[in-house]
Structure 1
């Protein structure tokens, strides 16, 4: 992680927390709560001003924010606990419960509003992917069904679909031998349901490797199929693949086409093994795989779709977070996988900045991260976790 990447992560997290605390502050002011201090960031005070009895300050470390309400347990840094009349109506503890609830809820609410605005702006610039079929590809389960281009998917395997995120989560939870149950709406408004049983795709030439993509754009082999060329003469776990048939391995479509056109004939591959660059000759072999479902969604630039997805996407993130919490309690995932702490968030942003992409792509990814984390942190703050 570079310094710039870490700084981007810290600033995103800091911005989210400032917006969150601003929600508490604005609600408190509107409802007549006595507020002692509103702080942006943490650490030593760089700038401070007092107005209408409230101390406003900016601190040195760009992470977090805080609001101090009169009557709370905490003391103001450097000032100690203020003295108030016990029956002062402006004290936090003397306010009606419904007003206190509004103040507490307004922080997460403003995070959700931030996410909505971020996604509307992003989708206005880039277009919004909507859960409508964009095209039906051959050699997919969808190709042999009654589902057509333009049909709108409403549920997949019983899970409601209002955004691409819902669809991805439903696909991730699908069992290998389970049927796909798709509910969809035709252009004329008629509703349909179709069940697609899993099938095997026709055998095709494949390398028989699985790999992971690194932050620097490298491709490292994770596992090698038992029928593939193995040992010193073939691919091995840990090899970093540079090229195949002279094509950079990152050019996925071109590499896939080269494998398909090889018809089982040997292909050259340049790799790095144990720090040394070397060239292999590998032979694709015929492998039978599961036929993909084949859902390709539509990219829309219509104002209605942009606004709809701007609203639906944060809702989908919220639903996904709730499902993750359910999986946590069911023991299917660990606590660290269900809640991203500050270090994880900073790391995610740093990886985005150092991914070696264009400035436009980086800005888009950081904005997406801001929207995602605004919902996640807003939701987390609604939970009864100290």
Structure 2
């Protein structure tokens, strides 16, 4: 955070984001508990002292002082409520028909899984609404179909396409724009289409073999290695995290990358394709800062995730709205949720196999930074996409079979079902106490790790 404004925006965005995610999660528990006949003593938005609310039936619906999520309190929900007394001083009997523990285990499992399911539904609805109302796509600032770059060893490269070629005909379309090229490609899956390009004033006839239709995948011409030039101007740099190759080379937020090794790239996609072909070879950047051209900047890409990268965040390209029909919006929302969920599961697997370091995880401070950045970015996707991704994270993490989490509750209920008797309250209390200590230590480490990533600390590192 560079100033007080950024801090305030991040805090407000974090409170709203996490508040909505947690309240929706707790509403899932609440709704199914009510359907199953479990007595819900309170449904709270926020924590701490009660500010205001209304009691309807057995439930106190209230708003509390600290707006960091919320909670649902069910009679007999935790072992200590059965072993001790309630707030009113009366013993909570295991035989109380309204108590959580008096209901069948399958109902308790449903109540436990309802919170994560509510998060999954929220993520899906958010993305379906986004695709149906917005679906921001790049605004094509150029009228010509100029190929900005051709990925090495791609289908297009093998067919003879080169950077700078201008597509004059594609299949049956004459003088097409890039949208028409994509349309023609979608009409000719698994076919070889004739393509005419203008190369340095000369007409060149080429043939492009298109891949077969892949169900659930929206074909884009970049799938065959052709990266279109649809914007003018250099690549804008939005942010450069400390410790990345770009930061070590001296790149800063607000800079503009005019050329890479003399190639005038306009999009990050072209730069990424160029770096993958170079396999980590040092790059010479031509950088514009405050209107002045800097001396050549040498940067060494490093392998991150699945490819070679410089580690900076680019300024998003200009966008336009292209709303999808309801059916396609639902399909895209499902694809988004599936892809993000698989990524989260892959990260969790990486933690246990030591392919992913715990220090790479983000906690409340990291989420607040991302929320603040999303709030300041143009368009709806950074905001809605982040909210949906965090909702999916919350749902999946709560399903992990760890005591205190919903998945831990379900695991204990499954064990009791196999044993055909309840685990003693004393044993449950010890399990929850140990799990609580582990979670506190884990989150303390995550928060400490978040804080050390803040600019005020990262600038102190060599």
Number of equivalenced pairs = 286
Which residue is equivalent to 2:63? 58
**Contact 1:128 1:309 (C-alpha < 8 Å) held by counterparts:** no
- Partner in structure 2 of residue 230 of structure 1: none
Counterpart selection for 1:312 from 327, 331, 335:
335
The corresponding residue for 2:8 is: 3
C-alpha distance in 1 between matches for 2:395 and 2:110: 14
In the alignment, the residues of structure 2 paired with residue 39 and residue 71 of structure 1 have an alpha-carbon distance, to the nearest angstrom, of 17
- 1:144–1:223: structure 2 CA closer, same or farther, 3 Å change rule? closer
Residues 85, 92 of structure 2: 8 Å contact kept: no
Q: Contact 2:136–2:381 at 8 Å: present in 1 too?
A: no
1:330 aligns with 2:357: no
CA deviation after TM superposition for structure 1 residue 337, in Å? 2.8
Deviation for aligned residue 1:94: 1.4
- d(CA) in 2 for partners of 1:67 and 1:20? 10
Which one of 4, 20, 33 corresponds to residue 15 of structure 1? 20
With 96-105 and 308-317 compared, the bigger mean Cα shift is at 308-317
Q: TM-score, normalised by structure 1?
A: 0.61
Q: Contact 1:213–1:219 at 8 Å: present in 2 too?
A: no
One of 131, 150, 168 as aligned partner of 1:139: 150
Answering whether residue 47 of structure 2 is matched by residue 45 of structure 1, we say: no
Q: Provide the residue aligned with 1:125 in structure 2.
A: 133
Measured after TM superposition, the shift of residue 11 of structure 1 is 0.9
Structure 2 contact 287–297 (Cα < 8 Å) conserved: no
The superposition leaves residues 9-57 of structure 1 with CA deviations (integer Å, 9 ceiling, x where unpaired) of 1110011000000000000000101111111111221113222121121
**How far apart, CA to CA, are the structure 1 residues paired with 2:348 and 2:241?**
33
Q: In 1, Cα distance between the equivalents of 2:366 and 2:50?
A: 27
State the match for 1:238 in structure 2: 250
Does the residue aligned with 2:61 lie in a helix, a strand or coil? strand
TM-score (norm 2): 0.52
1:70 to 47, 66, 75: 75
Equivalent of residue 350 in structure 1, options 366, 372, 377: 372
Q: Which runs of 5+ in 1 are unaligned?
A: 130-134, 154-182, 190-198, 200-210, 225-234, 258-265, 285-291, 293-298
Structure 1 pair 19–320 and aligned structure 2 pair: CA distance change class (3 A) = same
Q: RMSD of aligned C-alpha atoms?
A: 4.6
Q: Which has the higher strand share?
A: 1
- The CA deviation string for residues 37-79 of structure 1, in whole angstroms up to 9 with x for no partner, is 1111112211132221211210111112111111123669993
Say if 1:35 and 1:54, in contact at 8 Å, map to a contact too.
yes
> Distance in 2 between the 1:144 and 1:376 partners?
39
| Unaligned residue ranges in structure 2 (runs of 5+) | 1-5, 138-144, 160-181, 190-209, 216-224, 226-234, 272-283, 299-307, 309-321, 405-462
Contact 1:69 1:91 in 2 (8 A): yes
The question of whether the paired residues in 2 share the 8 Å contact of 1:44 and 1:60 is answered with yes
Query: Which residue in 1 is equivalent to 2:97?
Result: 89
- Check conservation: 2:236, 2:256, Cα contact below 8 A: no
Compare relative contact order (CA 8 Å, sep 6+) and give the higher one, 1 or 2: 1
Corresponding position of 2:388 = 371
Q: Please give the per-residue CA displacement for 1:64-104, whole angstroms capped at 9, x wherever unaligned.
A: 21111111236699936653333122211111110000000
**2:132/2:329 contact within 8 Å kept:** yes
**Relative to 1, partners in 2 of residues 1:78 and 1:332: Cα closer, same or farther, differing over 3 Å?**
same
Please name the residue that 1:383 is paired with: 400
| Whole-Å separation in 1 of the counterparts to 2:69 and 2:85 | 15
The Cα shift of 1:303 comes to 3.5
State the 1:139 CA deviation: 2.5
Deviations 1:172-197 (A, max 9, x none): xxxxxxxxxxx96339x9xxxxxxxx
The 3-state SS of whatever aligns with 1:312 is: helix
Counterpart secondary structure, 1:149: helix
Partner of 1:56: helix, strand, or coil?
A: strand
CA distance in 1, matches of 2:131, 2:285: 42
- Alpha-carbon separation, structure 2, partners of 1:219 and 1:105: 37
Cα pair 1:39 1:67 within 8 Å, conserved: yes
| 1:102-132 alpha-carbon deviations (Å, 9 max, x no partner) | 0000000011111111001111123388xxx
> How far apart are the structure 2 equivalents of 1:212 and 1:39?
44
Whether the 8 Å contact between 1:267 and 1:283 is mirrored in structure 2 is: yes
